Amino acid sequence: MFLGEFSCLAAFYLLQCRLAGTPDPSTDPQQPFNPLLFLPPALCDMTGTSIMYVALNMTSASSFQMLRGAVIIFTGLFSVAFLGRRLVLSQWLGILVTIAGLVVVGLADLLSKHDGQHKLSEVITGDLLIIMAQIIVSIQMVLEEKFVYKHNVHPLRAVGTEGLFGFVILSLLLVPMYYIPAGSFSGSPRGTLEDALDAFCQVGHQPLIALALLGNISSIAFFNFAGISVTKELSATTRMVLDSLRTIVIWAVSLALGWEAFHPLQILGFLILLTGTALYNGLHRPLLTRLGRGRPPMEEGEHERLLGGSRTPINDGS
């Protein structure tokens, strides 16, 4: 994952070389930029992703993706606390509806039939870990938004800098993980927390694994670049709203491949989650306008409020 993000940094410098001598505000930060600012978001990314991958082994892929919708709740609350953003009534309603959707999805997991691989206790633990990870991810989103706005950081450079930190930190952690016993929690023959040498042997003997890794690196690089671009042009919460829409694709593929059983409560939970995200993102306003219920007042964009006036007082909500 971090190698894919790190590749964005190389793409940024290639873009700079190609545009050398040409004024381009997107590649010329307006304020001095310290790369260490993106170390905390990288640590949040590393921690949150690790927790979510552990939880994914305990629950189904569709529930995993649906419960990730909780990130909208925490991102919205942290945006109020740390970015000085004011939420309107529809956004608070969206948060409440999203919470209701999470309850329905969790109830569907409780009522579903669980095989020997996913016991009920493991499913509950996995669901709670996913929600806990969303708190960490929402901190990452808010930090990225604050730094990207304040220093006008190019999206490729922001993603690549986080990837550099994460790649170096995890590469160093592979050394002690090679010797830490993990017992039944480990999936390696040696029973250690991580066995990088065995992983490289598997990649060398199975070209399909190498192909999957290359596809994963490419998709993550593009996905994170697109995510940071949305954060810079719109907001961190809008990024999370768009990200939650891939839930239906993951759920449909899981059902089609027979990886999980169909449960009607999941449809209800997904629809409630979509309603909550739509309310939060203001998607109901064009509909109300079209139905002739009055034109909604013009509201200043989130990124315009953050960028209005001086860039330094980023937490000023005025």
pLDDT at 25: 52
pLDDT in tens, the chain (318 residues): 888 888 888 888 888 888 775 655 554 444 567 888 889 999 999 999 889 988 888 887 777 877 877 887 888 888 888 877 788 888 888 888 888 888 887 777 677 655 555 677 788 888 899 989 999 999 988 888 888 777 778 878 888 888 899 999 999 999 998 898 877 777 777 888 888 888 899 998 999 999 988 988 888 878 777 776 776 677 655 666 666 667 667 777 777 877 766 777 777 887 887 788 778 777 667 667 767 654 444 444 444 443 333 333 333 333
- Is position 156 within any domain? yes
Query: Does the residue 199 lie in any domain?
Result: yes
Q: Which amino acid is located at 86 in the chain?
A: R
DSSP run (H or E) holding 295: none
pLDDT at 295: 47
- For residue 52, is it within any domain? yes
Assigned domain for 227 exists: yes
- 294 within domain boundaries: no
pTM (2 decimals)? 0.69
pLDDT of residue 176: 92
pLDDT of residue 173: 92
**129 in a structural domain:** yes
pLDDT at position 241: 62
Q: What is the pLDDT of residue 89?
A: 85
Note whether residue 310 is domain-resident.
Answer: no
- Tally of CB atoms within 10 A around 120: 12
pLDDT at 245: 65
Domain count, the chain: 1
Asked whether residue 124 is domain-assigned, the answer is yes
**Residue range of the domain that includes 253:** 1-11+33-286
